[in-house]
Amino acid sequence: MIRYVTKTYKTTSKMDVIDITGDAVAFISKAAVKDGLLTIIVPGSTASITTIEYEPGVVEDLKEALESIAPAGKKYRHDAAWGDGNGYSHVRAAFMKPSLSMPILEGRIVLGTWQQIVLCDFDNKSRQRKIVMQIIGA
pLDDT over 70 percentage in the chain = 100
Each residue of 110-120: b (16+ CB within 10 Å) or e?
A: eeeeeebbbbb
Instruction: Give the model's confidence band at 9: pLDDT under 50 very low, under 70 low, under 90 confident, else very high.
Output: very high
**What is the CATH number for 12?**
2.60.120.460
Closest by Cα among 35, 53, 44, 42 to 102 = 35
Rounded to whole angstroms, how far apart are CA atoms 48 and 99? 7
Closest by Cα among 69, 64, 72, 75 to 88 = 72
> Domains in the chain: how many in total?
1
- DSSP state letter for 35: S
- Give per-residue pLDDT as tens, 70-91: 999 999 999 999 999 999 999 9
